[in-house]
Amino acid sequence: MDISKNRIKQIIKEEVEEMHDNSEERDYDDKDYEWASVKAHLDKIHHLSRVINDRMQEPDDGVEEWVQEKIAVISAMLHSINHYQEEERVRSS
């Protein structure tokens, strides 16, 4: 892999701090703030997942266990959200 564990942590920390700083500058009511926050997080997830995916190369010795675990957890969480939304969509139809 081309990127170290410490660098990934640093990137995530910087991105979270930037998202937090940018969200505090806005003057939203609670509903707008919640939506803007969720949208910013989803945009960041989308961006970082593409960056990480583009940087990933098939290593000779496999993918580090901690990376596999983090990706599996994120995938399960996103699947759970998607499943919930699908059920809500069907119920409201």
Q: Where are the domains of the chain?
A: 1-57, 63-93
pLDDT on residue 77? 95
Give the DSSP H/E element, type plus range, for residue 23. Answer: helix 5-25
pLDDT on residue 50? 93
The per-residue pLDDT for range 43-83, each reduced to its tens digit, is 999 999 999 988 887 777 778 899 999 999 999 999 999 99
The per-residue pLDDT for range 6-50, each reduced to its tens digit, is 777 777 777 777 776 665 555 557 778 888 899 999 999 999 999
45's CB contacts (< 8 A; 6+ apart) are: 74, 78
- CA distances 29 to 9, 26, 38, 68, Å, are 32, 10, 14, 38
Question: When comparing pLDDT for 93 and 16, which is higher?
Answer: 93
Contact 4, 66 (CB under 8 A): no
